Structures are given as C-alpha cells and as structure tokens.
C-alpha cells in the first residue's frame, strides 16, 4: 500500500457513473444515496478510491457535463448533504473520493453565460470565447465541434459567434481571462475544503484556444487519425493545432497544482483528447508541478493485439521521464472493453486476462463500473437512445449509451437497479452477469478481479515499480516490473490458442492471481487467455 499522501501513485480508482449505478429513491435514475448504499461492495473489491462522474446542477443536455452551478448537487441526484454523507461513508471504508470537474466549458444556463451573452460591455462579456463573423457572415474559422458541425454558434444578442467544442449548449470559457481562471480555481477549492481527495479533470487540454483563431490544418492523406473520436466524425479530419493543447495551458496547470498542494494527499487525473495523446500525457504530468496523472485514449480504442499494446508502452516509455500515467480499458465514453477488444473471444476468460494486464502496467488504473463483471456493450434501440452524440452520428456511431446502461446488481426486475423503469434499458445480456450471480462463483470475473487487486497490493513492484518490456514472441505480451528488492516477470496470452515461449530469465512462479501456466525448465506454456507471473532473481 502507498502512504496516505501518495495513495494515488499506482492506486486503483473505481469509476462510478451516478445515473446508472444505483437508484435509491425509485425514479429510474441513479443517485448519491444509491452510491452510498453500495460503497461496501466497492470497498470489497480492494480498490483505493472512487471517481464519481458529474452530479452537479445541470440541464442535463450532456448528462451533467454541462454545469449550471459548480457548487451544488442536481436534485436528480440528491442534495449537498447526501454528498457529504457519501464522502463520510467512503472515508470510513478507507476509500478516497475523486469527483469530476468540467471547467473548460459550462452550460448555457450558467449565470456567467447568461450575463456574458447579454451585450458586449457587461462585467462578464469576455468570460466566454466570442468572435465576430467573417464579412460574409460565416464563423470565424474552421474549428469543428466533437459532437458534429461547426464549433461556433451565432448569438443574436451580441451579433457574434461563441465557441463550443461540444454541444451548442456548452459554451467554452475564456481561460485567457485571469478572472475566469481564478473563478474556476475557487470552485475547485470549495470541494477540496469539503473534503474530497481529488479531481478527474474533463477535457484538461481544452482550456485554452489560439488567440488569433487560426484555422486548423487538415490531416494529410494517408496519415492516421489519433483522436478518441469515431472515423464517421469530421472532427477527426483536422489536426487540432489551434483549438486545444495550447502552450498557455501549462501555466494554468501549475496554478492548479499549487492549489492542490495546499491540501496534502489530494490528486488530479486529467482526460486528454489530442493528436499526440502520449506526448501530452508526459508533458502534463512531468516535473511534479502540474497534473499528478493523466490518461488518453490509446487503450480505449479498437486495437488490442500484443504488438499494439507493446507499441503504446514503448512510445510512452520514450516520452515519459518522471511522468505518471493512469490507464483504463473502459469508461463512460467508449464501447466496453469486453466488446471493443473481446468480441469473438471467450466472454469470461478474455476479460480476466485483459484486467490482469491492466492491473500490471506501470501507472495508476481507472476501473469502470461493471468492468469487474465482464459486462459487454449493451445494445440500445434508437427509440431509447439518450446520448446527443449518438443521435447526430447514428447509425455509423451509436453513441455512448451502450456503456452507460444500469449496473446489474441482481437477476430480479430491472437487475435490482431501480423500482421504476430505468432511464436506459437494462441489457438482457447483463442480467446473467449480475453481482448476485457472480459473488458465489469462484471462477467469475468478479472474483477474478478481487484476486487480481489483492495480488497487485501484495506486490509493491506492481503498484509503482519500473517497467521494461521483454521479448516473449509476437503473440504474447511480456514485461518486467521492478521495485527495491522485488523483480517480477509478467506474461499475457490474449488469444484463444496455447502459446509457448522461452523465459528471458529464470524465476519462481507466483501464486494467488488465479491463472494457470506450465513451466518446463525455461519454457513457459501459456494456455488460452492466461497470465503468468514470476519472481526473478536480482
């Protein structure tokens, strides 16, 4: 275990999507008391903390990622007292609590924007990104919204366009304005003083824009599109040089770190969507004066071969220095990994070996609710679709609802999530994978997750040791984790066929992780979907 000040370094953080975790008041939507009710389950997994996705006051056009009051709880989820009760219970169980912070943009219902849009001379006139039309009335430049169309919307009051990287109802704040930066730091301070242990920072590289509003260049023909957006989205057709990841952001991240340092033991993890995500992760977390951790979409996209994972690790290792990553295979924005990576593979065995790999990487880990059950992506019919992103790009892209359906607690009505019809339908595929079904099954994904988390905590090298890749053949992934007197070799077989390899160094097989392998001299035979761990001589 890490000490209380550096718990996050190598920590495992369980992500909770409040709308879909547990409904306590019976309205079909998850809430804060529902989360509190299930914290014993979360603590029983063996994780270090939780990350709670947005629960702030919001018109919910983007399900809480459009905040209209940064310091209060939306009545849909409960009250500020309910959050305080959640915080107290989590801390009593030894769980740290991180909360989402969406400070790059607000809702258009936020009082700041209502004042800003009134005219060009009010006190908050420059708190958002406003620009005059071109002479022909078109938007100021070619920047695009991730959710489709131009990133600019015309406002008749000011006769100007305002910038929104997401929905038109999510105007971007102008971080070039010192008062905006200070206001958002004050909002963060509010939650720190309340006792939270850190923040997951939404779109952390979107805070600043190019002052000159220069056009983004196109992606050259034949070059890869690396942003975490579907190919059907024209947003991926540009190199995002001027609308995000601007150099001024580094100074703000230092201001943010100074605030966090006033509250020892707190932490930050930033979400990065960028053309060069690993380079940005390294830049934003290096030096100990900006973010504590960051994650990109390199393990949240389609490729999953051993060769691809090696490439991601190699690239980050080259760039990292003292930077610290946070890895995830699933979250509320992408197709669940059991489907995205595991389609066509064994639905029980594959999620286990994927989790073993995730929990063995150098870095911290985010574990998305239901991932410990091996949940596949749910099919949500168009008439039940809620996600505005999916509605725009349907059917080539079905949106994010398939990874946001209710958590299956039991095999009873609506999977024990609610007494009312849930806001998204419970997947029939998920009911047999309910927590109640898996608890007493020693071979379940749930119990495999518990074993792996306990195994990780028992080996300091897996928590925050160094990592070096080793050659175990093209069909396997292998690396060494090393800290102090402990050196471990980790080998993974993601495929459905038995594979053999020669160990690069002799070692003693470790137990307690739940996987099976055969060792004959230096020859390791690894059955389908298995992992092996060895303690190596120094």
Measured between alpha carbons, how far is 324 from 24 in angstroms, rounded to an integer? 37
Q: Is 474 assigned a catalytic role?
A: no
Classify the C-alpha dihedral 193-196-201-202 as positive or negative. negative
Distances (CA, A) of 465 to 3, 162, 326, 372, 459: 15, 46, 14, 24, 9
State the catalytic residue, choosing from 202, 271, 298, 345. Answer: 202
Tell me the β-bridge partners of 96.
Answer: 49
Question: Residue 531 has which token pair?
Answer: 């992992």
Measured between alpha carbons, how far is 401 from 93 in angstroms, rounded to an integer? 31
Distances (CA, A) of 351 to 163, 341, 358, 409, 439: 40, 9, 10, 19, 17
State the catalytic residue, choosing from 119, 186, 255, 262. Answer: 262
Q: Angle at CA 386, nearest 5°, toward 384 and 388?
A: 135
Buried b (16+ CB within 10 A) or exposed e, 103-136: bbbbbbbbebbeebbeeeeeebbebbbbeeeeee
Q: Is 486 assigned a catalytic role?
A: no
Whose CA is closest to 199, among 365, 35, 8?
A: 8
CB of 272 closer than 8 Å to CB of 263: no
Q: Is 523 exposed, middle or buried (0-12, 13-18, 19+ CB in 10 A)?
A: exposed
- What is the number of other CB atoms lying within 10 angstroms of the CB of residue 61? 17
**Percent of the chain as helix, strand, coil, to the nearest 5:** 30, 20, 55
Q: Both ends of the chain: CA-CA distance in Å?
A: 22
Question: Residue 467 has which token pair?
Answer: 């990592």
Measured between alpha carbons, how far is 61 from 28 in angstroms, rounded to an integer? 18
| Cβ neighbours for 333, distance < 8 A, ≥ 6 positions apart | 228, 300, 400, 403
**Number of H helices and number of E strands within the chain?**
14, 21
Q: How many C-alpha atoms does 321 have within 13 Å on its Cβ side?
A: 12
Measured between alpha carbons, how far is 303 from 342 in angstroms, rounded to an integer? 11
* DSSP one-letter string for 358-375: HTTSSSEEEEETTGGGTP
Distances (CA, A) of 282 to 8, 131, 271, 357: 17, 33, 13, 21
- Residues with catalytic annotation? 202, 262
């Amino acid at each position: 275990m890490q000490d209380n000040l550096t718990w996050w370094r190598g920590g495992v953080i369980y992500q909770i999507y409040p709308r879909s975790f547990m409904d306590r008041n019976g309205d079909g939507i998850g809430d804060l008391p529902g989360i509190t009710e299930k914290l014993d389950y979360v603590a029983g997994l063996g994780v270090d903390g939780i990350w709670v996705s947005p629960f702030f006051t919001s018109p919910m056009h983007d399900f809480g990622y459009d905040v209209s009051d940064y310091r209060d709880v939306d009545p849909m989820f409960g009250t500020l007292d309910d959050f305080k009760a959640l915080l107290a219970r989590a801390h009593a169980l030894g769980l740290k609590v991180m909360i989402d912070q969406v400070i790059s943009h607000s809702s258009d219902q936020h009082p700041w924007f209502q004042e800003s849009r009134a005219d060009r001379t009010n006190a908050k006139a420059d708190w958002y990104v406003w620009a005059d039309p071109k002479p022909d009335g078109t938007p100021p430049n070619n920047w695009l919204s991730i959710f489709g169309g131009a990133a600019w919307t015309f406002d008749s009051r000011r006769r100007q366009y305002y910038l929104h990287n997401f929905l038109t109802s999510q105007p971007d704040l102008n971080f070039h304005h010192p008062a905006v930066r200070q206001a958002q730091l004050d909002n963060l301070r509010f939650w720190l003083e309340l006792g939270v242990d850190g923040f997951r920072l939404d779109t952390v590289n979107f805070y600043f824009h190019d002052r000159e509003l220069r056009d983004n260049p196109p992606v050259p023909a034949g070059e890869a599109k690396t942003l975490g957006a579907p190919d059907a989205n024209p947003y991926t057709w540009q190199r995002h040089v001027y609308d995000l990841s601007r150099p001024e952001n580094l100074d703000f991240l230092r201001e943010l770190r100074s605030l966090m340092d006033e509250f020892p033991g707190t932490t930050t993890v930033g979400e990065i969507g960028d053309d060069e995500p690993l380079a940005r992760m390294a830049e934003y977390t290096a030096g100990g004066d900006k973010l504590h951790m960051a994650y990109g979409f390199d393990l949240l996209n389609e490729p999953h071969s051993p060769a691809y994972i090696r490439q991601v690790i190699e690239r980050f290792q080259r760039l990292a220095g003292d930077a610290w990553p946070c890895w995830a295979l699933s979250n509320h924005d992408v197709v669940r990994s059991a489907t995205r990576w595991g389609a066509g593979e064994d639905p029980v065995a594959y999620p286990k070996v994927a989790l073993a790999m995730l929990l063995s990487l150098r870095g911290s880990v985010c574990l998305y609710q239901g991932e410990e059950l091996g949940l596949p992506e749910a099919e949500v019919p168009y008439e039940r679709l809620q996600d505005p992103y999916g509605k725009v790009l349907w059917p080539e892209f079905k949106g994010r609802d398939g990874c946001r359906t209710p958590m299956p607690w039991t095999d009873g009505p609506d999977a024990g999530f609610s007494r009312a019809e849930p806001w998204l339908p419970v997947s029939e595929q998920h009911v047999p994978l309910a927590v109640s079904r898996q608890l007493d099954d020693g071979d379940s994904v749930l119990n495999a997750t518990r074993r792996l988390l306990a195994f990780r905590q028992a080996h300091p090298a897996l928590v925050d040791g160094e990592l070096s890749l080793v050659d175990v053949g093209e069909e396997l992934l292998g690396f060494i984790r090393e800290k102090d007197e402990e050196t471990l070799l980790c080998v993974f077989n993601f495929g459905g066929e038995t594979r053999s390899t020669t160990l690069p160094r002799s070692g003693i097989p470790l137990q307690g992780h739940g996987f099976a392998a055969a060792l004959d001299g230096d020859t390791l035979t690894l059955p389908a979907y298995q992992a092996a761990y060895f303690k190596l001589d120094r």
